[in-house]
Amino acid sequence: MIDIHTHILPGIDDGSPDLDTSLRMARIAYEEGITQMIATPHFISMEKEDRKDVIIERVKELNDAIMQNGINLKVYPGEEIFLTPDIPDRYVHGDVFTLADTGRYLLIELPIMSFPEYVFDVIYRLNVMGVRTIIAHPERNKIINQNIDRAGDLIEAGALMQINSLSLFGVFGRESKNTAQKLYKKGMINFIATDCHTAGGRSPRMARLYDIINKKDLFKYTETNPSYIFAGENLPLEEKAPEEGKNKTSIIKNLFSLFKGEREAKDET
Ligand SMILES: [Fe+2]
């Protein structure tokens, strides 16, 4: 499996505090069936920012240590970016990491207690530049907990959804678990990742998903779809799930065309 959301890098955020913990997390991940990870330390504009060369260096050091310890796991750079209105500008200036540094997907975190309407502007502006927004753990947002249609609005705007395996296991409480289950059952998700922070309660656990998610879906959310991120390619069109009874397909198709057109134009230059 491929874990696209982790805080395994040592001493850079509220995730792993040191190399020893990171190595224990890597061992757990491998035992759980994870062979590739994207390290996504927190980025909060003007508040908590890391230099990209520092992240690259830390990823390299961690990969070296993982290899020396005989663990079959490879870590790639990325960031989890807290939602602020300036994200598209920060992307343009090269201040933030796309996932696996392939230039196509940004992992964006909503606040827990609110749902800023400018999120739609951020998604749209990134889309126009050929960058897809992946919303990190929508099931942890209180507004989405109360009204799942808000997640539908984000999908309609062109965002993709990543839920946490640990939410499905109930680690973040009943509300997050219920919302994660609902999002999954309604076909509104694209990725499942661990969002691991520790080698304890928030360790990189995935294997129990086999008891919860059917194998075909699990493969899609933890292998097939993440592989598009690594390849720097678009997810197939059917990944955006329109809600029943609403004609969202055409909107999504238009957005997809826009995204594709912009990218092709960019690729040609
Ligand atoms: Fe995270």
Residues 126, 132, 133, 137, Cα dihedral to 10°: 180
| Interval between CA 250 and ligand 1 midpoint (Å) | 32
- Tell me how far the alpha carbon of residue 261 lies from the centroid of ligand 1, in angstroms: 31
Taking the C-alpha atoms of residue 261 and residue 1, their distance in angstroms, rounded to an integer, is 31
Per-residue pLDDT, averaged over 159-185, amounts to: 97
Q: What distance in angstroms lies between residue 33's CA and the mean position of ligand 1's atoms?
A: 20
**Rounded average pLDDT over 84-92:** 98
Q: What pLDDT is attached to residue 155?
A: 97
Give the distance (Å) from ligand 1 centre to CA of residue 80.
6
| Residue 257 pLDDT exceeds 80 | no
Distance 40 CA to ligand 1 centre (A): 7
- Element of type H or E holding 3: strand 2-6
Domains of the chain: 2-268 (3.20.20.140)
Quick one: pLDDT at residue 238?
55
pLDDT at residue 236 in the model: 85
Distance 15 CA to ligand 1 centre (A): 8
> What's residue 178's pLDDT?
98
Does pLDDT of 215 surpass 80? yes
- Residue 43: its H or E element: strand 42-43
111 close to 150: Cβ distance less than 8 angstroms: no
